[in-house]
Amino acid sequence: MKALILIDDGFEELSVYVPWMRLREEGLDVTLATPLMHALTGQHGYRIEPDHPLRDVPPDDYDLLLIPDGRATEALRLRNEAVDLARTFMESGRWVAAIGHGPQVLMSAGAIDGRTVTCSPGIRDDVRNAGAEYRDESTILDGNLLTARGADDLPEFCRRLVALLRSPSAYGVRVG
């Protein structure tokens, strides 16, 4: 299985590193993709080297799209290639996971209307205005979409994500 993580400058470090390492522990091939290929700096000053530019990412090669928390989501949602990628994953029924502010990219893709999600409380009104039902819970699974409020919910988020990836057919989600 292969996972794709969308990142840009201003990413929230825990919401990238924790799931990235957990997915690698499970044997997934994890790719970090960004609009521009340069070392990225997180909100707390940690730097990371991306693997591929977004424009070169073939979405059909991946089973999971992860959108981490942080200011980076505001920049990503303004990039057509990031929004198109999110829309493609949602429409194809493959796994999409978003943490904290991550649903902002999905809002710009028009992909959360009619969905039930959780997110950072700071964007809950935006989520509602995009047509989703907001719930203040640590994680929410709605079809192929798993959302989490933020870094404090990463242990449950990762447990749930790994369980879903181990048994995707139990949830009616297409993989591969």
* Residues involved in catalysis: 101
Contact between residue 74 and residue 83 where contact means Cβ atoms under 8 Å apart:
no
Task: Answer whether 35's CB lies under 8 Å from 76's CB.
Answer: yes
| Cα dihedral across residues 75, 2, 39, 118: positive or negative | positive
Q: How far apart are CA 67 and CA 54, in angstroms?
A: 13
Report the candidate in 72, 88, 74 with the shortest Cα–Cα distance to residue 126.
74
Q: Which residues contact 45 (CB under 8 A, 6 or more apart)?
A: none
